[in-house]
Amino acid sequence: MPSPEPSQERPTPESGNRPSLEMIRLILGHVGLHSAFSGMRMSTPLLALSLGYGTASIGVLMALFAAAQIAIAMLGRRLVTERGLKFCLTLCGISAASGIGLAAAWPALPALGLGALCCGGAIGLSLITIQRHVGRASSSEAELRRGLSWVSIAPTVAIFIGPLLAGALIDAAGFQSAFMALALLPLGSLLAARLAREIPVAPAPPQAPTSPWSLLRIPNFRQLMVLNWLMGASWDLHGFMVPVIAHERGLSASSIGLLMGAFALAATLSRLAVPAIAARMPDWLALAGAVTLAGVLLAVYPFLQGLSSMMPCSFALGALLGAVQPLVMILIHKVAPEDRQVDGMALRMILFNGSGIAMPMVYGAAGIALTASGVFHAAGLLVFMGGGLGIRAVLALLREQKHAEGVPPTAPPPAPPSGSPPV
């Protein structure tokens, strides 16, 4: 079995199976920031409805959260590269706290729109900043896997904290009190920035391309983005269409909530398992396999009739799709040149959030023509085919390596270097 290419030495390595104290501070700061984002995202449509606005206005407000992340991605890659960790995390904390504080002081539609932009931009810049820091601070592939897996836990934890806190405070004391409390959560990002160690920025090659889109010229990066899009489309399908199909089955609101909760719980748990999974099989094979199995489950979902059968399927989908995101981030650090990894993160964010805006509209229109079950079948087939092509490419690479190195047929198939993607 060929050994992986030796990892390039990086500054300030962090060893051990558990995250370092600095990493814990960064993750907790990001949990606070993402909890504020999640709470604001839930509270915004509720306040807009209470003010008498219709679904069109609410749709625009919700789109602003994702649009801000798309807009900040291009600027964010420059800020992260030129200004570093401390500046970017400080900017994120101030931006989110200011936007939510504005909604608390002025609970009106314009303030909600500005708050959505501030929170969306802050969470986008924070993700790029922390993921880049983990990549540069990791001294080995094992540390990279562990660090990115721990960082990916923050959003799933925040999805519980933010809406729960906001909902309780809205019922107990009103929207303004809820926004005031949410505005305090991003301050943890300021503390994490103050205590963090800045890694000196290495100068980029003078001939380096400046546009993130040029990374799509790299075949392996392009294939990685396709698999990432299939994951995002599957995630959006579950969040948008499962409540629809569950309602058609006569499930109550609490039962639908259990389905969504099972999905979120499984996504959290699977991200903790990514380092162990990636250590036992090639990253590309784990990624393509997870996407392929998710396609099978999506196609099967409409045949399930009750909560007892739909919940295990939602849990399995959450486990598969939850593991994909950290695997994608691991492979971005391996496929993209080191000085362009931040461009890869920005491009992934643009494509992922663009899909998050467009796919619910596509699913809604397709549901009219195909019914909810038809949408699941069509999407499941598409995701299955995309993941299957990825598996086929990985297996072809394994065969090529086996033939090139003259491994006897009875020997176990050699695993490719973890950074070697399919062609």
97 versus 210: which is more confidently predicted? Answer: 97
DSSP 8-state assignment for residue 113: H
Mean pLDDT for 167-193 is 87
pLDDT band at 170 (very low <50, low <70, confident <90, very high): confident
State the average pLDDT for the chain.
80
Domains of the chain in sequence order: 19-198 (1.20.1250.20), 215-423 (1.20.1250.20)
Give the pLDDT confidence score for residue 404 in this predicted structure: 66
Cα–Cα dist 206/266, whole Å:
45
Give the pLDDT confidence score for residue 14 in this predicted structure: 40
Query: What six digits make up the tokens of 103?
Result: 């909604």
Query: What six digits make up the tokens of 184?
Result: 């305090």
pLDDT band at 122 (very low <50, low <70, confident <90, very high): very high
What single letter denotes the amino acid at residue 151? V
pLDDT of residue 154 exceeding 90: no
What are the backbone dihedrals phi and psi of residue 211, each rounded to the nearest 5 degrees, phi first?
A: -95, 130
Cα–Cα dist 137/357, whole Å:
33
Give the pLDDT confidence score for residue 6 in this predicted structure: 38
What single letter denotes the amino acid at residue 421? P
Contact 150, 23 (CB under 8 A): yes
Give the pLDDT confidence score for residue 356 in this predicted structure: 76
Give the pLDDT confidence score for residue 194 in this predicted structure: 76
pLDDT of residue 249 exceeding 50: yes
pLDDT band at 418 (very low <50, low <70, confident <90, very high): very low
pLDDT band at 11 (very low <50, low <70, confident <90, very high): very low
Mean pLDDT for 135-143 is 75
For 260, what's the count of Cα atoms within 13 Å in the CB-facing half-sphere?
20
Cα–Cα dist 415/410, whole Å:
15
Q: Percentage of the chain with pLDDT > 70?
A: 86
37 versus 272: which is more confidently predicted? Answer: 37
Give the pLDDT confidence score for residue 115 in this predicted structure: 94
Q: 3-class DSSP state for residue 282? A: coil
Q: Percentage of the chain with pLDDT > 90?
A: 17
Give the pLDDT confidence score for residue 5 in this predicted structure: 39
Q: Say what the pTM is.
A: 0.74
Mean pLDDT for 8-24 is 56
348 versus 422: which is more confidently predicted? Answer: 348
Mean pLDDT for 57-65 is 84
pLDDT band at 30 (very low <50, low <70, confident <90, very high): confident
Give the pLDDT confidence score for residue 264 in this predicted structure: 82
Give the pLDDT confidence score for residue 113 in this predicted structure: 93
Cα–Cα dist 254/246, whole Å:
11
Give the pLDDT confidence score for residue 201 in this predicted structure: 62
pLDDT digits 0-9 by tens, 292-339: 999 999 999 999 888 888 999 999 999 999 888 888 888 888 888 877
pLDDT digits 0-9 by tens, 366-378: 877 778 888 888 8
Give the pLDDT confidence score for residue 7 in this predicted structure: 38
CA distances, 37 to each of 88, 163, 175, 423 (Å): 17, 9, 15, 38
pLDDT of residue 281 exceeding 90: no
Select from 144, 180, 151 the least CA-distant residue to 165: 180
Select from 242, 284, 289 the least CA-distant residue to 263: 242
Alpha-carbon torsion, ordered 256, 257, 263, 267, to 10 deg: 170
